[in-house]
Amino acid sequence: MTKNLFIGRTVIRLERVDSSNNYARTLLRDKMPLEGTVIVADEQTAGRGQRANLWVSEVKKNLTCSYILRPAFLAAKDQFMLSAAVALAVEATVSEFLPTENVRIKWPNDILVNGRKTSGILIENSLRGMNLETSIVGIGMNVNQTEFADGLNATSLKLITRENVDLDEVLERLNENLEQRYLKLRQGKHQLLLDALNNRLFGFGESMNLNINDQAQQVTIVGVRQTGELELEHHDGRRALHQHHEVTWNLKA
């Protein structure tokens, strides 16, 4: 039983669903689920990632779940800070199982271990006036899967530890880490969360080759702003802010 105040205290377990985010959306429409309810799926037939990408996961091998949150305290203009809090929670969870590995947050929503993707996040917000009303936080984490499609720059906890990892234990740790960061968000500690995010940011302060608006460029990663843009320094010393749809990372599989 979780020690949390609310996140993960209500768990809905599904053997098979198209998408846990879709299920959460229907739940919000038809019922009044408690904040912190988490939907955990053994199998997703149409799991989704960012930019309409599919999230492919072997049955009962990985953690695929969606949290229902009600961050009405958060202004719409600050909604990226929810993404930051979630990313920090996922990164902390992965780090607990892989304490000797290089775990980093790849802007805007992936968790990398030694440069390979272990986790992805998809957050869908609804607004009420100038603030958020509800948020569906979808998280996929590669836990015990050991084979991935060609071309995917992916890894898993088992591939690194060479041992099976208990999915319920991963969920429990994720619940606790998410509640800790979410409560900091509720307390308005935006700068603390942003500093922590940049401290764990993949490529922070490094020169990297990125595709920016479909053009390969050598840039230095300066950091992420509170509004969610990635600040980059170009070869001529010019600094610019970029949205996530403008940037493609060149990571080798």
- CA 83 centroid distance within chain: 7
For residues 12-28, average pLDDT: 95
For residues 27-46, average pLDDT: 94
Q: Over 90: is that where the pLDDT of 199 sits?
A: yes
pLDDT digits 0-9 by tens, 81-112: 999 999 999 999 999 999 999 999 999 999 99
Question: Are 62 and 143 a contacting pair, CB within 8 Å?
Answer: yes
Q: Over 90: is that where the pLDDT of 235 sits?
A: no
What pLDDT is attached to residue 56? 65
What pLDDT is attached to residue 52? 44
Q: Over 60: is that where the pLDDT of 53 sits?
A: no
- When pLDDT is cut at 50, 70 and 90, the band that residue 125 belongs to is very high
What pLDDT is attached to residue 222? 97
C-alpha to C-alpha distances, 235 to 217, 219, 223, nearest whole angstrom: 8, 6, 16
Q: Which residue has 């319920």 as its token pair?
A: 168
What pLDDT is attached to residue 253? 53
Q: What percentage of residues in the chain have a pLDDT greater than 70?
A: 94
